[in-house]
Structure 1
Amino acid sequence: MRLTVLHKTHYTYDAPVPYGLQQIRLRPKSRPGQVVEDWQIDVAGGQVEVSFEDEHANSVDLVSFASGQKEIEITCSGTVEVEDKSGVVGPQGGYVPLWLFRRSTSLTKPGDRIKGLIADAPSDGGDLDRLHALSAHVLSAVPYSTDQSASDLTAEAVMEAGHGVCQDHAHVFITAARALGFPARYVSGYLMMNDRVDQDASHAWAEAYVDGLGWVGFDISNGISPDARYVRVATGLDYRDAAPISGLRYGNAAEDMSVTLQVQQQ
């Protein structure tokens, strides 16, 4: 399936910003199951200073603000050919050893609630069956809700809240999978919902490493493994490693952000 993406992130400030710097992880790469045919990033109110690969082999663009700006807009657009591989990505690549994906982070540290989730999780079948069952178990314990959208909630805090969005589901699944002995990682990217062109936001899901298959994706929020409607952009130990945009700015200006995103089949 050939997907076209148009993603705009618009920042406005109530006072001129003397200095700002952002890391942009919005450039997908050709990987097993997807081929990037074309992709470009345009910045209004700033410029791309340098592009590089991080430790997870994500493509990163470092964007600086033009001095004194009150607006900056980052536009990503391109076309990606995606194959339905039932979520199977394959062997570990890049610069990070597989064992590191068993390590907890501040967002994925298991506590009593995660331990209780694991204790109640189905344990029958092989590794792949157990992970699919865990995905369904997480969604049952933490129903999808947009009542909160903070990106820095820990897995334990999500369990306490009892609801969450896709990034919360990914963090809970990753935390539980690691506690069960599976390497697991966070994935950010795009999902084309079948009933619309204008998407609500970019998407997040999780991957776990299964012997004999390699990395396998689990979209906990939608109860499936990624198919030809998904574009993988960045991966990491948690959201902070794979955040689409992160950075800093100098000054006290208040920020307002709006996002428009279109994903459609060409």
Structure 2
Amino acid sequence: MLLTVNHVTRYFYDQPVRGVVQSHRLMPSQCAGQKMRSWKVSVSDGQMGGGFRDGAGDWVQGWTVLGPVNEITVHVTGEIETFDQAGVLRGHKELTPPDCYLRSTHPTEADAALAALADGLTPAQDALAAAHLISERVSDAIVYTADTTNAHTTAAEALAQGTGVCQDQAHAVIAIARHIGLPARYVSGYLLVGIDGAAHDAAHAWAEVFIAGLGWVGFDPANRCCPDDRYIRLGSGLDSLHAAMIRGIARGQGEESLDVSVTVQATQTQSQTQQ
């Protein structure tokens, strides 16, 4: 499938700040499931700094904006060809050992209720089946409901209220998988929500679980599926903070607010054969 992306993030400050430094994970992953045709990231009045590929295989790019400044716009546009890999991350080079993703973080700590969702799962016998069941149970236990949580909501809090967004559901899958000894991580990216070719608001997140003998496999409890050719993978991390598309710090006292618009459109939907 051929997908186009238009992603605009605008930062506003109620009084000028002296400068802003940002770290981006906005470049598509290099893997068998996607092939970049064109991609551009721009920052208004920004100066591109150093970039590097981290141990997880993700490209991290630094940007600096010199102040005084009241508004910053980060604009991502691109075209990418995607291929259905049945959720398996193939051809992605990375150095970080999978066991590093057994470490819990605050958003992914498994309380008693999350641990209870792992009842009866035996990953030592069939880790892939266990991972599928985890995703299914999270889909049932945390009903996708927009605007019911915030960026700081933990998996345990989302489970307690029974609603959340893709971030919360991914955190819950990760928490449960780690609880039973399966390495798991958070993935940020884009999703073509519909198949009608129309543009959709489509920033998205899902989880990956490491299955011995197979590798990293993606699970999207928000849509009850594994990632396919509707998905564009950008970066990964221990949780949503580590995998954030944009992280930054502003020098000054101005209060920050932001507005985000993301659209993904299919410009070619016929079956593709990877060369």
TM-score by length of 1: 0.93
Matches for 1:160-239 after TM superposition, within 5 Å: 160-194=160-194, 195=196, 197-239=198-240
Q: 1:138: Cα distance to partner? A: 0.6
The aligned residue for residue 100 of structure 2 is 100
How many residues end up aligned between the 2 structures? 266
**Which segment is superposed worse, 97-106 or 223-232?**
97-106
After TM superposition, where is structure 1 displaced by more than 6 Å over at least 4 residues in a row? 120-123
Partner amino acid, structure 2, of 1:102: L
For residues 185 and 133 of structure 2, the distance between their equivalents in structure 1, rounded to whole angstroms, comes to 18
For residues 252 and 79 of structure 1, the distance between their equivalents in structure 2, rounded to whole angstroms, comes to 38
Kindly provide the CA deviation profile for residues 181-222 of structure 1, in whole angstroms up to 9, marking residues without a partner as x.
211111000000115643334100001111222111101100
TM-score by length of 2: 0.90
Given that 2:143 and 2:163 are in contact with CA atoms closer than 8 Å, whether structure 1 keeps it comes out as yes
The aligned residue for residue 11 of structure 2 is 11
Distance 1:37 1:196, change over 3 A: closer
Kindly provide the CA deviation profile for residues 161-187 of structure 1, in whole angstroms up to 9, marking residues without a partner as x.
221100100000011011112111110
Q: Secondary structure at the match of 1:212?
A: coil
Mark the runs of 5 or more structure 1 residues left unpaired by the alignment.
none
Distance 1:219 1:92, change over 3 A: same
The aligned residue for residue 258 of structure 1 is 259
**Which segment is superposed worse, 145-154 or 243-252?**
145-154
Kindly provide the CA deviation profile for residues 69-92 of structure 1, in whole angstroms up to 9, marking residues without a partner as x.
111101111111110111011477
For residues 10 and 53 of structure 2, the distance between their equivalents in structure 1, rounded to whole angstroms, comes to 25
**Which segment is superposed worse, 109-118 or 226-235?**
109-118
Kindly provide the CA deviation profile for residues 88-109 of structure 1, in whole angstroms up to 9, marking residues without a partner as x.
1147741211111112122212
Q: Secondary structure at the match of 2:89?
A: strand
**Which segment is superposed worse, 231-240 or 84-93?**
84-93
For residues 197 and 22 of structure 1, the distance between their equivalents in structure 2, rounded to whole angstroms, comes to 31
For residues 215 and 54 of structure 2, the distance between their equivalents in structure 1, rounded to whole angstroms, comes to 21
Give the fraction of aligned pairs with identical amino acids, expressed as a percent: 38
The aligned residue for residue 140 of structure 2 is 140
The aligned residue for residue 246 of structure 2 is 245
The aligned residue for residue 33 of structure 1 is 33
Q: Secondary structure at the match of 1:135?
A: helix
Partner amino acid, structure 2, of 1:13: Y
Given that 2:31 and 2:90 are in contact with CA atoms closer than 8 Å, whether structure 1 keeps it comes out as no
Kindly provide the CA deviation profile for residues 21-54 of structure 1, in whole angstroms up to 9, marking residues without a partner as x.
1111111132121111221111113222222222
Q: 1:149: Cα distance to partner? A: 3.9
Partner amino acid, structure 2, of 1:165: V
Kindly provide the CA deviation profile for residues 116-154 of structure 1, in whole angstroms up to 9, marking residues without a partner as x.
22227698x832222212111111111111233422222
**Which segment is superposed worse, 55-64 or 213-222?**
55-64
For residues 216 and 242 of structure 1, the distance between their equivalents in structure 2, rounded to whole angstroms, comes to 17
RMSD between aligned alpha carbons?
2.1
Partner amino acid, structure 2, of 1:151: A
For residues 78 and 211 of structure 2, the distance between their equivalents in structure 1, rounded to whole angstroms, comes to 31
The aligned residue for residue 21 of structure 2 is 21
Partner amino acid, structure 2, of 1:44: S
